[in-house]
Amino acid sequence: MLHLRNLRVTIDDYEIINIDDLALQPGARLGLVGESGSGKTMTAKAIAGLLPNEAKVSGEVNFDGQNLLTLGDRDLAKVRGKRIGFVFQDPARSLNPMMRIGKQVSEAIRIHTNLKGQAVTDKVVDLLRQVQLPEPETLLRRYPHQLSGGQQQRVMIAAAIAADPDLLIADEPTTALDVTVQEEILRLLISLSEQRKMSLLFVSHDLGVVRFVCNQVAVIYGGNIVEAGNIDNIINRPQHRYTAALLAANPGMPKDDNFSAFIGRRLQTITGSVPPVGRFPSGCRFRNRCQHASEKCATTPPITVSASDHRYLCWHPEQGGQS
Amino acid sequence: MTSAATSPSPLVAVEQMYFHYPRARITAGGAGWTLQDISLTIDLKSTVGIVGESGSGKSTLIRVMCGLLRHQQGNVRFNGKDITEYQGDGANELRRQNQIVFQNPRRSLDPRMTIRRSLTEPIRALQQRTPDDDELVSSIKRVGLGPEVLSRFPHQLSGGQLQRVGIARSLSVNPTILYADEPVSALDVSVQAQVLNLLMDLRDQMGLTLVMVSHDLGVVSRMCEHIVVMRHGHIVEAGRTSDVLSRPSSDYTATLLKAARAASLERS
Ligand SMILES: Nc1ncnc2c1ncn2[C@@H]1O[C@H](COP(=O)(O)OP(=O)(O)OP(=O)(O)O)[C@@H](O)[C@H]1O
Ligand SMILES: Nc1ncnc2c1ncn2[C@@H]1O[C@H](COP(=O)(O)OP(=O)(O)OP(=O)(O)O)[C@@H](O)[C@H]1O
Ligand SMILES: [Mg+2]
Ligand SMILES: [Mg+2]
């Protein structure tokens, strides 16, 4: 369905993304996980052809046999929105504040389908109902500021799935929502992907959320995919030291509801912080923050692939390399 | 937070408090109130987590407790004295002892001010003195930042660094109680861990009373001995965190827990 090969994005000669191989099968849900500044949004934008003008891209974004990077603007516009839906990181900034909700969703329908007149309105109501917004008939006359953050987020999803895309890219669709609304939206994304056989690329910094939604995960750091594979394998047996550190820093919930043992428990932190673009070390991008780094790590680690297609780039993997 | 009976003089005592924003229409049935019938106490040096759905009144409640918003009915006492009686110098003293850290560090610091000025300003306003360099350096070091940060502007710092500055700023006036309103929800998981550890350390070192609003039950159950669960402007349940979360008495708390468990990793 989607296959990235040697995808490289640079801005001002600084490498922001360098992904040699990442694939997403039809109907699969892949989580893209990493700290702030690791390149998640840039990867998503590279796939959707929405990179800023100053960015230079090379390699392949193969979508159903076509390399999207070589398509002209008109052909690309047909794919984007119609076959690839996009939910942006910040709903407040991506909904038009001056336009009623119904209009924003119907624009998407008019552009990408042949529906007209009442059929469009019916479809809007149907979509708003699918994303479980209350009273869709009245809601479509409201403006974005009259909706809560969670409701805005659902409108974004409704617009993104209006054309029944084969791939939905959702960039941190639930950050800053409360847990119950978050759970609803995550369940919605799962059921859309199951019912419509829609693939999902789900961007998040939280492995707990990714485990709930996705069956696969790719961990990104410094624009490189450092580990990828089945979500349960990676959560139970992380190999790359960065993945292990991200897991350890996650606050989580206490096992077996043992809340009294949880109180006062400090979190594990990752030494240092994500460097700005251009300041990552050579070789393993994570080595200046890694407790296990050795001289070897100054050279690019080899890709290790296990039998279960769990792959990682690390000289000193967590469990000596079995998975 | 304990019942009034076991604690004769809590630091903060709220009794049957009601609050509405200006121009709200209060009906006979009680609609219109943002906070209704709120009673709770906070003991000196305790740690309290406030959880509940978006719009339930968590931020409003902490603003009323620290005197930034004025309630219309009931009582709010700080150190045994009604907060409406803190006037003039007393009002400054109330503000000094009650500090808030906000969710979005970028929005809570003035982008045109250096970090040095942002740190100096509350001390000038609330203590009528100008801190020397040694004091500013030690205040920035306390939150794990270097003195070079003092000459920077907010846009030159990362989200996690800015939130540390926000915490340093609140602590610079040596408060008794620190209210943190979703202090880490704008930060990614690894930076969250640093800021939460910092808050736990500072609380222990400085003997702070800490009240934290959070949507993350995992974070609250690590950091807060006591929990208040809010919904629609009411307190639905409150008590020791491990009791409330192990045996929730309200359906709403159970729903919250279920949602939190679904999208969280299990930690032993
Ligand atoms: N227009 C741009 N010009 C130059 N650098 C940019 C631009 N946009 C992003 N970057 C840089 O590219 C890197 C990756 O950014 P990206 O937005 O992909 O991170 P992210 O993983 O999505 O982070 P977050 O979790 O904060 O959303 C960052 O260092 C960022 O500062
Ligand atoms: N300045 C204001 N004027 C009028 N109404 C307000 C104001 N601030 C908040 N409200 C309303 O008061 C109610 C409680 O808001 P509050 O911000 O206290 O909720 P919260 O529990 O902190 O929510 P969140 O989790 O989204 O931060 C909401 O209905 C909100 O819309
Ligand atoms: Mg991003
Ligand atoms: Mg709030």
| Structure confidence by residue, pLDDT tens digits, B101-159 | 988 888 889 999 999 999 999 999 999 999 999 999 999 998 988 999 999 999 988 88
> What are the residue ranges of helices labelled H in chain B?
58-65, 89-97, 105-108, 115-127, 133-142, 159-171, 189-206, 217-223, 241-246, 251-262
Task: Write out pLDDT tens, residues B28-83.
Answer: 887 889 999 999 999 999 999 999 988 899 999 999 999 999 999 999 999 999 99
Task: Answer positive or negative: Cα dihedral of A193, A194, A199, A204.
Answer: positive
Contact B222 A262 (CB under 8 A): yes
Interface residue B94 vs chain A (CB under 8 A): no
Within-domain flag for A81: no
pLDDT on residue B9 = 85
Closest to A52 (Cα-Cα) out of A3, A84, A24, A17: A17
Contact A253 B225 (CB under 8 A): no
Q: Tell me if A276 CB under 6 Å of ligand 1.
A: yes
Number of CB atoms found within 10 A of residue B28's CB:
5
Task: Write out pLDDT tens, residues A154-169.
Answer: 899 999 999 889 999 9
Count A/B contacts: CB-CB distance under 8 Å.
Answer: 145
Q: What is the pTM of this model?
A: 0.91
CB–CB of A150/A181 below 8 Å?
A: yes
Cβ partners under 8 Å of residue A64, min gap 6: A1, A83, A166
Within-domain flag for A142: yes
pLDDT on residue B250 = 96
Residue of higher predicted confidence among A309 and A19: A19
Query: How many angstroms separate the alpha carbon of residue B61 from the centre of ligand 4?
Result: 9
Closest to A88 (Cα-Cα) out of A121, A146, A40, A24: A40
CA angle A155, A35, A321 (to 5 degrees): 120
pLDDT on residue A178 = 81
Query: How many angstroms separate the alpha carbon of residue B195 from the centre of ligand 1?
Result: 22
The residue whose CA is least distant from atom 28 of ligand 2 is B55
Within-domain flag for A109: yes
Distance CA B66, CA B94 (A): 8
From chain B, the residues in CB contact with A267 under 8 A are: 192-193, 196-197, 222
CB–CB of A38/A32 below 8 Å?
A: no
pLDDT on residue B4 = 45
- Which of B1-10, B95-104, B229-238 has the least mean pLDDT? B1-10
Interface residue B43 vs chain A (CB under 8 A): no
Residue of higher predicted confidence among B2 and A240: A240
* Residue B166 scores a pLDDT above 80: yes
User: How much is the ipTM here?
Assistant: 0.88
Query: Which of A38, A169, A210, A220 has most ligand 1 atoms within 8 Å of its beta carbon, as the pocket-test mutant?
Result: A38
Within-domain flag for A201: no
Within-domain flag for A150: yes
From the list A178, A186, A269, the residue facing B190 with the nearest CB is A269
Contact B263 A186 (CB under 8 A): yes
Q: Count each helix (H run) and each strand (E run) in chain A, helices first.
A: 11, 13
Number of CB atoms found within 10 A of residue B77's CB:
18
Q: How far is A91 from chain B (nearest CA, A)?
A: 15
Q: Name the 3-class secondary structure at A206.
A: coil
Top residue of B157, B205, B212, B267 to mutate, by most chain A CBs within 10 Å, is B267
Interface residue B216 vs chain A (CB under 8 A): yes
Instruction: Identify the domain containing residue A131 by its residue range.
Output: 98-158
The whole-chain average pLDDT of chain B stands at: 92
Q: How far is A108 from chain B (nearest CA, A)?
A: 29
How many Cα atoms within 13 Å fall on the side-chain side of residue A64? 11
Top residue of B261, B264, B266, B268 to mutate, by most chain A CBs within 10 Å, is B264
Task: Write out pLDDT tens, residues A91-140.
Answer: 667 789 999 999 999 998 998 888 999 999 999 999 999 888 889 999 99
Q: How far is CA A84 from the centre of its chain?
A: 13
Span B11-31, average pLDDT: 91
pLDDT on residue A199 = 96
Per the structure block, which two tokens stand in for B100? 């808030």
Per the structure block, which two tokens stand in for A146? 């009259």
Contact A175 B191 (CB under 8 A): no
The whole-chain average pLDDT of chain A stands at: 91
Distance CA A95, CA A80 (A): 17
Query: Which of A7, A9, A40 has most ligand 1 atoms within 8 Å of its beta carbon, as the pocket-test mutant?
Result: A40
pLDDT on residue B25 = 87
Distance CA B94, CA B90 (A): 6
Within-domain flag for A115: yes
Q: Which residue has the tokens 């050795």?
A: A294
How many Cα atoms within 13 Å fall on the side-chain side of residue B176? 15
Separation in Å, CA A7 to CA A47, A76, A221, A262, A305: 9, 17, 15, 43, 20
Confidence of residue A320 (pLDDT cuts 50, 70, 90): low
Span A255-283, average pLDDT: 91
Number of domains in chain A: 1
Task: Write out pLDDT tens, residues A24-52.
Answer: 999 999 999 999 999 999 999 999 888 99
Span B194-198, average pLDDT: 93
Strand order in the sheet with B81-82: B35-42, B12-19, B73-78, B81-82
Within-domain flag for A69: no
Closest to A153 (Cα-Cα) out of A136, A135, A137, A176: A176
* Residue A237 scores a pLDDT above 90: yes
Within-domain flag for A305: no
| Nearest residue on chain B to A244, alpha-carbon basis | B190
Q: Which residue has the tokens 């485990």?
A: A211
pLDDT on residue A323 = 44
Which ligand neighbours the alpha carbon of A40 most closely? 1
Chain A, residues 132-171, CB within 8 A of chain B, namely 148-150
Span B196-209, average pLDDT: 94
Contact A178 B54 (CB under 8 A): yes
The residue whose CA is least distant from atom 8 of ligand 2 is B60
Chain A, residues 178-197, CB within 8 A of chain B, namely 178-183, 186
Contact B242 A259 (CB under 8 A): yes
Interface residue B250 vs chain A (CB under 8 A): no
Task: Write out pLDDT tens, residues A165-203.
Answer: 999 999 988 876 788 888 988 999 999 999 989 999 999
